[in-house]
Amino acid sequence: MLKHKPSHLEDELCFAVYSTQKLYNRFYSIVLKRYGLTYVQYTTMLVLWEKQRPMMVKELGERLKLDSGTLTPLLNRLEKQGWVVRNRNFEDGRCVMVELTPKALSLEHDVKHHIQDCVLPIEMTESEYRECVNVLYEISDKLEFINGHLLGKEE
């Protein structure tokens, strides 16, 4: 078990994650500029491309871990830019469905290929990349549990 004693900023995992996240956001800002997408819009498109079917806004928000206050303006911009369309579900008028436009479908390969080309200089093997992603998800799961426990103590 890790016996962590905060000391130097550079030794802190939280700062390493924070500074890397800032650099990733900047990277995606530059790389996605040609498509007029932000990082969060890109992650939204990834989910829709993955599903290849209309999705409920609620389902999309859960997958992206975004609340409706963040997701609605994001979808407004994607719709205005011609990436998605939203329609009310015929069976349940309260339910809004999001689906890809022909533009989004036609640009999927180009966007993904462009990002893949830009990521190459990171020079990670596939297994290093997977391991990194898995470790971050493990930490995320543990923090989610701890945060829930800490919030319970505050009440």
Higher pLDDT, 2 or 118: 118
Q: Region 18-25: what's the mean pLDDT?
A: 92
d(CA 66, CA 38): 15
pTM here is: 0.83
Residue-wise pLDDT tens digits, 121-137: 788 888 998 999 999 99
pLDDT over 90 at 154, yes or no: no
Q: Each residue of 80-123: pLDDT tens digit?
A: 999 999 998 777 767 899 999 999 999 999 999 999 888 887 88
Q: What span, in angstroms and rounded, lies between the C-alpha atoms of 60 and 98?
A: 8
> In 1-155, where does DSSP find H-type helix?
13-32, 39-51, 57-64, 68-80, 102-119, 126-154
Question: C-alpha distances in angstroms, 79 versus 43, 88, 123, 137?
Answer: 15, 14, 35, 30
